[in-house]
Amino acid sequence: MLRRRALAACTATVAVGALALAGLTGTASADPAPASSAPVAGAEQLSPGLLKAMQRDLGLTADRARARIGAESRAAAVAGGLRHSLGAGFAGARVSGDSAELTVATTDAADTARIAEAGARAVVVGHSLAELTSAKAALDRVALHRAPKDIPVWYVDVRTNRVVVEAGRGAAADTFLAAAGVSRELVTVGQAAGAPRTFTDLRGGDAYYMNGTGRCSIGFPVKRGTQGGFVSAGHCGTPGVSTSGYNQQAQGSFQGSTFPGRDYSWVAANTGWTPRPLVNGYGNGDVTVTGSTEALEGSSVCRSGSTTGWHCGTVQQRNSSVTYQEGTVSGVTRTNVCAEPGDSGGSFISGSQAQGVTSGGTGNCSQGGTTYFQPVNPALQAYGLTLVTSGTPTDPTDPTDPPTNPGGSWAAGTVYAAGDVVTYGSVSYRCLQGHQAQPGWTPVNVPALWQAL
């Protein structure tokens, strides 16, 4: 078994990018100059991907996107200078439109001339940014000790010159404000649109943790109906054991587990985790999963795991049996791919085809070794799961079913073993290679998987 039994402390490093603006070194002057129409340095070298996304989502041409970014950067430079020169009266700044028209708020009407001279529109308001920020900080301190119930979001809104608290119930907002000692005069209470959640991907080969007592690796993201999750090794956990993700955030719990005898399990994930048809290539690029057709003995196969990353070798023997300390596991596949503790449950993939989840073995990735994987199709079949794939068939023929379903017993999502016989239309077909049927992989379309009888 290759489950990591001891947790290692880890530190997540977040890289933060900063936009350096020409002329913003040192302290801002008391009288900032009006915004220049000169282009921002580096605007022509903007990422093509960023420009494409702006064209798609903001309806801009590439030239207009570059101009907008330049205008926003110049506005930020002016706002930075005004924030310094206005001091305690500064109440926030914002831009609007493609031209990034700058509006600067102040609590002192005497500042409006200075703001106008800098090329911005002045607005006089009742509360300084410092006052609003202080009120929000008081709310943050309360939430740090105990997350407020029915209060999913709060923030400083410089446009309305208020702290906005979104609440599921008005009474909950009153309790929150009272606990923080924040005046209702500073706050607008709004109706919460819903409970926010994190957006994190489930990806083969990534780490997950079990009840804080060990680490394994995700095999392949799956679904059962609308419920998302993943398959992994059975020895990693038993039903009811909770899991947290690579980022130590709550993830889900084991719904089914078999070990020994076989070595597979499935974990249902909460709505903060989205199953993706990907395997972590650990520096080699993510690999897209398109199906689960079994590779022949001698085929190349690669493994992804959270301890040793990405390693490859060949399939040696299928339908092997191996005895661990806990008992015998049958039906596993023997490979010459190395693995180490913590890699358990991780993905074995051949090309774009899911093969199985890491079970155990001998040796290590310094000297080499033998590793066994539990084939994925029996796990899918055992728990009624559907492998999450890109939906792209590997066969070059038309990937779509005929407009009219011809009928028969073949069905997408079903796991078929070599030798299984199905009907499609009026013809019977025998399965040539074990796989989970994907949309478009009909017997008539994929002769590599089906033989007409």
Active site positions, annotated: 235, 263, 344
> Are the C-beta atoms of 282 and 298 separated by less than 8 Å?
no
Contact, 231 vs 255, CB < 8 A? no
Question: Which H or E run includes 323?
Answer: strand 309-324
Dihedral sign computed on CA atoms, order 438, 444, 445, 447: positive
The answer to whether the CB of 348 falls within 8 A of the CB of 357 is yes
Contact yes or no for 415/368 (Cβ under 8 A): no
The token pair at 175 is 């309790």
- Compute CA distances 260 → 41, 194, 303, 328, 343, whole Å: 63, 43, 22, 6, 18
Please give the DSSP secondary-structure letter assigned to residue 126: S
Tell me the longest C-alpha to C-alpha distance in the chain: 90
Q: Distance between CA atoms of 137 and 130, rounded to whole angstroms? A: 10
Give 110's DSSP letter: G
* Beta strand spans in 195-308 (E): 200-204, 207-210, 215-217, 220-224, 227-232, 242-245, 250-258, 264-269, 273-279, 287-288, 300-305
The tokens for 349 are: 């993939």
Number of C-alpha atoms within 13 angstroms, CB side, residue 443?
26
In contact, 385 and 222? CB cutoff 8 Å: yes
Question: How far, in Å, CA of 327 to CA of 266, rounded?
Answer: 20
Closest CA relative to residue 280, chosen from 253, 252, 307: 307
Question: Is cis: bond before 260, omega within 30 of 0?
Answer: yes
d(CA 141, CA 147): 10
- Strands 187-191 and 162-167, by their bridges, are parallel
Rounded Cα distance, 245 and 198, in Å: 12
- Both tokens of residue 371? 């590793």
CB burial string 319-336: b at 16+ within 10 A, e below: ebebebeeeebebbbbbb
